[in-house]
Amino acid sequence: MEVRLVHLSKYFGEVRAVNDLNLEIKSGEFVALLGPSGCGKTTTLLMIAGIYIPTEGEIWFGDRIVNDLLPKDRNIGMVFQSYALYPHMTVFENISFPLKLKKVPMAERRKRAQRVADMMQIGHLMDRKPAQLSGGQQQRVALARALVKEPDILLFDEPLSNLDAKLRLTMRGELKRLQKDLGITSIYVTHDQVEAMTMADRVAVLRDGRLQTFSTPDDLYNRPQTLFVAGFIGSPPMNFIDATLVQENGKVVVKAEGMRIELPDELGKRALARAKSDRVVYGIRPEHVHLDPEGDIEAEIYVVEPLGREDLLDCRLLGGSVMGVLAPAGQPVGPGDKVRLRFEAEHSQLFDPETEHTLLW
Amino acid sequence: MTQQTVTAQVTPHMDVSWRARLRRFTTPAFFTGPAFVLVFLFFFLPVILTILISLTDMSVATISDIKFVGLKNYIRIWRSRTTWKILRNTFIYVGFTLTFFNVGLALVLALITTHIPDRWGTAFRTFWLLPRITPSVIYAIMWTWFTADAPYGIVNQFLQIFGVEPRNWMSAQPWLVVIAANGFVGASFGMIIFTSAIRSIPVDFLRAALVDGASTWQRIRYVILPMIRWPILFVVSYQTLSLLASFEYILLLTDGGPGFYTTEVWSLHAYHRALSNYFGNVQFGYGAALAAILVVIGVIASVIYLRVFRFNEMVAEPKIEVI
Amino acid sequence: MTEHAGSRWIQVFLIILVALLCVPLVVMYIWLLEAAFAKQTYGIVPSGFTLSNWRFLWEGFKNMPSIWRITFNTLVFAAIVTVAEVFFASLTGYALSRMKFPGRRIFLSFTLVLHAFPAVTLLIAIFYVLLVMGLYDTLLGVILVKAALELPLGVWIMKGFFDGISWDMEMSALVDGCSRFRAWWEVLIPNIRPGIAALSIFSFLSGWSEFLLPYIFTSSFENFTLSVMLRRLIGDFRFVDYGLLTAAGLYYMLPVLIFFIFTQEYLLNIYAGGTKGTQI
């Protein structure tokens, strides 16, 4: 089932929780709604579920506007952060509840509930009450309950955030595989960018109720549309420096105090064509900056943060800007050491400081 | 570039379908309807009726030919000599019961039961609920016997030890009995509220007081009491109102006597005038005027409580909008 | 509060103090128990055991319907009041707690105002309303009045219990295929059973003990409840048979005592819950 949000807005009094949101989700696609808390992602999800009534705009399922359709008539399945199992029902009753409401005969209810439960590996727990299950098992029951009525659309509201780290990793993989196997259009709300990036086909980044960007994880990471997205995606976060964009000897060069980077021709041309003034925000990810004695940028180590596999070095450029550098663990440097840095210019990002929009993609 | 340009045929914003619109009305109506009807019939309507009846000369004698008499009933109340006696009685009743029992005894019980082991505390608090759930009629029988003449009365039996001359205490000290009987019931309300207020005082405050070397008494005086002044104010105002209106126990104990209006309070007087056949001619109009004064006080006071105690702020918006 | 005051001796002293405060009440209840089985009592001292005080169970009282009829009336009164109150309160409490509809805030404010409002002052007008509706001197009329007068408290208590249920669970029910009504019935109600139990006990006891309403709004023998009957007995017996009176009283009190013994926690909760949120 294809889902389209058209000029969708939701106001709570003066607060615009969702502001003119447009989104097209393809049939069978796994889309993540990503953003910090209060960005409107859950509100959007609840509007799609039919729990919230949109202030403006339309929600389309296929070729049908569903704004006035009750949640029960939308044929959706939903998994909540708190699992939201019914404590007074057994696992079987929980899973088969949607079927009971659809007046499916008991025998078939049993069959279908058992099938889904087996798929979720909880087939042996059917007679338990939710309180007797572990968090992971409860999560599986919730998932089974969402799947049992063979919904057109699956909605997830941070379903993994109550699980411990290890279980979360397992469930992440399982969920993704399950979604691909069943091919059900899925919308997944999360504030965890790793979850969004690893699971989703496309990620919609929201901020203050507005859509920042809607693209594949690859685009999101390597070709961020806005300054916010660039800063929000990736850990440790991208480095930003206020710089000027100039032309020198036919080359496009980004300059800041203590820093000079020649852009590759292609990027340079594009940036020059789009820039409205010579002032830009230059961005580069920590993994694209290297300690290199041959490098042409001088810096001084400020802090060393060992991350295990790598060290994150906070380096201070001559101009005073601080630059995170990801280097293999065990660098023989410490605070105060003078180092030289080499930037991978082809991984540069440039943004308009006014519109915060990219100048490159 | 993956910037999303919406090509969907943007239809004009669809109006909510009539079905959904109807649902938004019928579903809440279904859920709140029965309560609304009952509340309308037995709260709203009576409030208005009380005031309307009070402006008529309705009585058993005039029931077939009711006349509108304006404020005549109120003027009669103002001029009646018994009014002042009854007003005085009401002050005595409300003032003493409230001070000594509904707040005083309640506070003592709450303080003591929170300062002894919890098992004991709960047991005592539970016990004090007993008078509240005892049917009022039985409660009145117990008090009657408690205060009865020698050789039956329990009070007399006890006071005999000290050589006090036996008497029927209900007749000898009607106020004492009326106030105590009401107070023993009323104390539990404040007790429960004060207890949970004391319990909700952060333990840190109490520890700090202990560390500062405060005695138990100082701790109560300087830490606990100041911190529960809002609950105390709540109980005072709430119970003033309910005492003003209550007459059930007095009706059962003394019925306003002994003698002429000795313990007749305002609400009991209204009842006697309007609903009791005791005086032969039942005067709805006059009784309603007496009641209307209480009703107006009640409405104003409860609206004020609503504001002062900020009940409104406890109202959270529902998270499900669809109906 | 977890710490207890001072030394062991202070604790003992406090316990004795509060116990002394209880003495008058304890004495009264003891008297009620023993006087029902005694030929005569002098103060707290009974003299002579007898069961003849209980003869009303088979003989009935003079000029009154049989005790069983009266008991039945009282039971019907209390039971219907309970069912009506719990049912209406859980409908309205749900709507006020969980539904967005125009007038919700006003409705809630009214519930609270009525909660504080002394309904007894309205008896005169209610008398008139019943008269007009043709419900004066009927059990149904008294039941309706009783249910109505206790409704604000009941609604408030039920609202409190509904407030405590997770929103996710109800959303889940709606997505699973429930209407709001179905969600209320199948998912929310089963999860507020403690609330329903508490309110049921409360309103049953309150209905069972009710005196004023049946006393004022009924007059015929066939509508007598135990409280009205006892009031009559006090009138008739003020000077005589206390043994009979206390036995009848104890008989009337028995369900209350039983409920009290087995459901104290619920009761303590409901009295606290009825004033929830006032602990500012």
Is the pLDDT at B136 greater than 70? The verdict is yes
Whether residues B150 and B73 share a domain: the answer is no
Q: Out of C91, C115, C227, whose CB is closest to B135?
A: C227
Whether residues B103 and B184 share a domain: the answer is yes
Is the pLDDT at A114 greater than 90? The verdict is yes
Average pLDDT across chain A, whole number: 89
Confidence (pLDDT) at A293: 85
In a domain? residue B163: yes
Whether residues B165 and B57 share a domain: the answer is no
Tokens encoding B81:
């000599």
Is the pLDDT at A187 greater than 90? The verdict is yes
Tokens 């005038």 map to which residue?
B273
Is the pLDDT at B13 greater than 70? The verdict is no
Reported as a single tens digit per residue, the pLDDT across C58-111 is 777 777 777 888 888 899 999 999 999 999 999 999 998 888 888 888 888 887
In a domain? residue B135: yes
Nearest CA in chain C to A82: C168
Is the pLDDT at B209 greater than 80? The verdict is no
Chain CA centroid to CA C19, Å: 26
Whether residues C140 and C160 share a domain: the answer is yes
Tokens encoding B45:
């309507």
Within an 8 Å CB–CB cutoff, is residue A56 touching chain B? Answer: yes
- Residues in chain B whose beta carbon is closer than 8 A to a beta carbon of chain A? 1-4, 6, 8, 10-11, 13-14, 16-17, 19-20, 317, 319-322
Whether residues C265 and C180 share a domain: the answer is yes
In a domain? residue B34: no
Over residues A226-254, mean pLDDT: 87
Whether residues C41 and C100 share a domain: the answer is no
Confidence (pLDDT) at B277: 59
Whether residues B140 and B219 share a domain: the answer is yes
DSSP state of C36: T
Whether residues C21 and C108 share a domain: the answer is no
pTM for the predicted model, two decimal places? 0.83
Residues in chain C: 280
In a domain? residue B16: no
Whether residues B179 and B274 share a domain: the answer is no
Is the pLDDT at B107 greater than 60? The verdict is yes
Q: How far apart are the first and last CA of chain C?
A: 17
Distance from CA of A225 to the nearest CA of C (A): 34
Report how far residue B193's alpha carbon sits from residue B109's, in angstroms, rounded to the nearest whole number: 11
Is the pLDDT at B7 greater than 80? The verdict is no
Tokens encoding B295:
């009703």
| For testing contact with chain C, the best of A51, A74, A145 (most C CBs within 10 A) | A51
In a domain? residue B204: yes
Whether residues C167 and C125 share a domain: the answer is yes
Q: Which chains touch C (3 or more CB pairs under 8 A)?
A: A, B
In a domain? residue C166: yes
Distance from CA of A217 to the nearest CA of C (A): 29
Confidence (pLDDT) at B313: 62
Is the pLDDT at B60 greater than 80? The verdict is no
Chain A residues inside the 8 Å CB shell of B16? 67-68
Q: Do A72 and C174 touch (CB under 8 A)?
A: yes
Whether residues B74 and B141 share a domain: the answer is no
Amino acid (1-letter code) at residue C85: E
Chain CA centroid to CA A25, Å: 15
In a domain? residue C278: no
Over residues A262-291, mean pLDDT: 87
Q: Do A49 and C178 touch (CB under 8 A)?
A: no
Q: Out of B112, B234, B298, whose CB is closest to C17?
A: B112
C242: CATH: 1.10.3720.10
Domain that holds residue C147: 62-273
Whether residues C28 and C147 share a domain: the answer is no
Reported as a single tens digit per residue, the pLDDT across C214-242 is 888 888 877 888 888 888 877 765 556 77
Distance from CA of A50 to the nearest CA of C (A): 8
Q: Do B2 and A7 touch (CB under 8 A)?
A: no
pLDDT band at A189 (very low <50, low <70, confident <90, very high): very high
Q: What are phi and psi of A312, to 5 degrees?
A: -100, 120
Is the pLDDT at C139 greater than 60? The verdict is yes
Number of domains comprising chain B: 2
Q: Do B322 and A53 touch (CB under 8 A)?
A: yes
Report how far residue C270's alpha carbon sits from residue C263's, in angstroms, rounded to the nearest whole number: 11
In a domain? residue B63: yes
Average pLDDT across chain B, whole number: 78
Q: Poorest-confidence range of A193-197, A202-206, B199-203, C152-156?
A: B199-203
CA atoms within 13 A on the CB side of A228: 16
What percent of chain B is modeled with pLDDT above 70?
89
Distance from CA of C178 to the nearest CA of B (A): 11
Nearest CA in chain B to C12: B116
In a domain? residue C279: no
Distance from CA of B192 to the nearest CA of C (A): 6
Confidence (pLDDT) at A24: 92
In a domain? residue C57: no
User: What is the C-alpha radius of gyration for chain B, rounded to an integer number of angstroms?
Assistant: 27
Q: What is the ipTM of this complex?
A: 0.84
CB atoms within 10 A of CB C16: 10
In a domain? residue B320: no
Whether residues B232 and B249 share a domain: the answer is yes
Reported as a single tens digit per residue, the pLDDT across A73-97 is 899 999 998 889 999 999 999 999 9
Q: Out of C171, C177, C187, whose CB is closest to A102?
A: C177
Reported as a single tens digit per residue, the pLDDT across B245-297 is 888 888 888 877 777 787 888 888 888 877 775 555 677 777 888 888 888 88
Q: Poorest-confidence range of A51-60, A189-198, B74-83, C5-14?
A: C5-14
Q: Do C22 and B128 touch (CB under 8 A)?
A: yes
Reported as a single tens digit per residue, the pLDDT across A227-236 is 888 888 888 8
What percent of chain A is modeled with pLDDT above 90?
34
- Residues in chain A whose beta carbon is closer than 8 A to a beta carbon of chain C? 46, 49-51, 70-72, 74, 76-78, 80-88, 97-98, 101-102, 145, 149, 155, 157
Which positions 150-179 of B are in contact with C (Cβ < 8 Å)? 151-154, 156-158
Chain A residues inside the 8 Å CB shell of B8? 4, 6, 24, 58, 60
Whether residues C219 and C179 share a domain: the answer is yes
Q: Do A46 and C171 touch (CB under 8 A)?
A: yes
Q: Do C128 and B317 touch (CB under 8 A)?
A: no
Q: For residues B319 and C142, which has the higher predicted lDDT (pLDDT)? A: C142
Number of domains comprising chain C: 2
Q: For residues A339 and C64, which has the higher predicted lDDT (pLDDT)? A: A339
Nearest CA in chain C to B121: C15
Whether residues B292 and B186 share a domain: the answer is no
Over residues B187-213, mean pLDDT: 79
Domain that holds residue B182: 91-263
Report how far residue A297's alpha carbon sits from residue A311's, in angstroms, rounded to the nearest whole number: 19
Nearest CA in chain B to C1: B199
Distance from CA of A218 to the nearest CA of B (A): 12
Over residues A21-38, mean pLDDT: 90
Domain ends where: B240, B263, B286? Answer: B263
Q: Do A68 and B8 touch (CB under 8 A)?
A: no
Confidence (pLDDT) at B278: 54
Reported as a single tens digit per residue, the pLDDT across B168-184 is 777 778 888 888 888 88
Chain CA centroid to CA B164, Å: 36
Q: Do B4 and A71 touch (CB under 8 A)?
A: no
Whether residues B163 and B53 share a domain: the answer is no
Nearest CA in chain B to A42: B319
In a domain? residue B3: no
Whether residues C11 and C69 share a domain: the answer is no
Tokens encoding A251:
């080359």
Report how far residue B135's alpha carbon sits from residue B273's, in angstroms, rounded to the nearest whole number: 25
CB < 8 Å & 24+ apart, contacts of B272-277: B274/C124, B274/C127, B275/C123, B275/C124, B275/C127, B275/C216
Confidence (pLDDT) at A142: 92
Domain ends where: B233, B248, B263? Answer: B263
Report how far residue C222's alpha carbon sits from residue C278's, in angstroms, rounded to the nearest whole number: 42
Confidence (pLDDT) at B9: 42
Burial of B262 (0-12, 13-18, 19+ CB in 10 A): middle
Nearest CA in chain B to C10: B116
The candidate with the shortest Cα–Cα distance to A97, out of C185, C90, C97, C196, is C185
Over residues A106-131, mean pLDDT: 91
Whether residues B107 and B184 share a domain: the answer is yes
Reported as a single tens digit per residue, the pLDDT across A292-337 is 888 888 888 888 888 888 888 898 888 888 888 988 888 888 888 8
Over residues A155-174, mean pLDDT: 88
Within an 8 Å CB–CB cutoff, is residue A211 touching chain B? Answer: yes
Whether residues C24 and C156 share a domain: the answer is no
pLDDT band at A45 (very low <50, low <70, confident <90, very high): very high
Confidence (pLDDT) at C58: 76
Q: Out of B35, B120, B146, whose CB is closest to C155?
A: B35
Burial of C137 (0-12, 13-18, 19+ CB in 10 A): middle
Confidence (pLDDT) at B88: 87
Distance from CA of B35 to the nearest CA of A (A): 26
Tokens 């852009």 map to which residue?
A263
Tokens encoding A261:
């980077």
Whether residues B106 and B195 share a domain: the answer is yes
Within an 8 Å CB–CB cutoff, is residue A50 touching chain B? Answer: yes
| For testing contact with chain A, the best of B9, B17, B321 (most A CBs within 10 A) | B321
Whether residues C264 and C184 share a domain: the answer is yes
Question: Counting one residue from A and one from C, how many pairs have CB atoms under 8 Å apart?
Answer: 66
Is the pLDDT at C136 greater than 90? The verdict is no
Distance from CA of C268 to the nearest CA of A (A): 25
pLDDT band at C259 (very low <50, low <70, confident <90, very high): confident
Confidence (pLDDT) at B16: 53
Whether residues C149 and C33 share a domain: the answer is no
Q: For residues C174 and B260, which has the higher predicted lDDT (pLDDT)? A: C174
Is the pLDDT at B4 greater than 80? The verdict is no
Confidence (pLDDT) at B268: 84
Report how far residue C112's alpha carbon sits from residue C93's, in angstroms, rounded to the nearest whole number: 12
Q: How far apart are the first and last CA of chain B?
A: 41
Confidence (pLDDT) at C80: 94
Whether residues C6 and C144 share a domain: the answer is no
Is the pLDDT at B6 greater than 70? The verdict is no
The candidate with the shortest Cα–Cα distance to A315, out of A327, A326, A299, A329, is A299
Confidence (pLDDT) at A59: 92
Q: Do B1 and A23 touch (CB under 8 A)?
A: no
Whether residues B153 and B186 share a domain: the answer is yes
